[in-house]
Amino acid sequence: MSTRWPQIILTLVCFLIGLVIAAQWRTRTRIVRSPVMLSSVEQAVMMSNLVESNGRLRNEISELEKQLRAFQQDERQGTLQKLVDELTRLKIVNGLVETSGPGIELKFAGEIMTYDVQDIINELRNAGAEAIALNEQRLVIMSVIGEQGRRITVDGVTVTSPYVFQAIGDADTLQKACARKGGVIELLKSSYPNLEVSIRNRRDIVLPIFRRPYRFTHATIVK
């Protein structure tokens, strides 16, 4: 809802209040200045018309004030909902909550290298994946793909074959991006002939939370 509507209604309320005051002042001035010209009956009729006119204007003001309060309430609710939506989005992006949705499951059975894992993650993100996990380890922007000996680690946790990537997003887009000619699956198959790869669409994937706590040593909020 446009934020201009409350301003318009408030302007109308002020305008109508001004009309009431102006009408009362003009009528009162005319009565005071013309005591001889107006009979008591004419003065009574004029006052009756003034009261009736003021009554209509007060009703209109009351109605506009109700609309103004309704718009202000809607605006507050809209702002609150935007804050809730943004908080939910940030929680999902940072892996602070379990996340569910449609997507794909990509499985690699065989030995691959750390940089291959990073290539797969990048391919999924570039294809629009909104949340990713590898062997039940949630991957976020701060995740570290490393190695311990010949074993791959995700945020310090060792993961072994088969490497199962789960990605939430548009399943068709994700699958086409990974399986396209010259894509990550074709490149890995050419590099590792014995590597077994499977990919399938999933209607409902549930990804765990990011288990590693966030710690900020140098970054602070700009005041």
Question: What is the count of structural domains for the chain?
Answer: 2
Q: Do residues 67 and 127 share a domain? A: no
The band of 123, judged by pLDDT with boundaries at 50, 70 and 90, is: very high
The band of 125, judged by pLDDT with boundaries at 50, 70 and 90, is: very high
Which of 102-106, 138-142, 155-159 holds the top average pLDDT? 102-106
Final residue before a domain boundary, out of 74, 93, 112:
93
Q: Do residues 42 and 84 share a domain? A: yes
Q: Do residues 107 and 193 share a domain? A: yes
Lowest mean pLDDT across 53-62, 147-156, 209-218: 53-62
Final residue before a domain boundary, out of 52, 67, 93:
93
pLDDT at res. 16:
57
Query: Range of 74's domain?
Result: 4-93
Model pLDDT for residues 70-98, shown as the tens digit of each residue: 776 776 676 767 777 778 888 888 888 89
Instruction: For residue 164, give the H/E element and its range.
Output: strand 163-168
Of the two residues 138 and 211, the one the predictor is more confident about is: 138
Q: Do residues 196 and 177 share a domain? A: yes
Full-model pTM: 0.65
pLDDT at res. 35:
46
CA angle 16, 40, 33 (to 5 degrees): 60
Tell me, what CATH number does 121's domain have? 3.30.70.1880
pLDDT at res. 23:
56
What mean pLDDT, rounded, does the chain reach? 81
Cα 94 from chain centre: 15
Model pLDDT for residues 175-199, shown as the tens digit of each residue: 999 999 999 999 999 999 999 999 9
Q: Are 175 and 103 a contacting pair, CB within 8 Å?
A: no
Q: Do residues 80 and 115 share a domain? A: no
How far is it, in rounded angstroms, from Cα 141 to Cα 121? 11
Q: Do residues 178 and 107 share a domain? A: yes
Lowest mean pLDDT across 40-49, 61-70, 73-82, 119-128: 40-49
Give the bridge partners for 101, in sequence order. Answer: 205
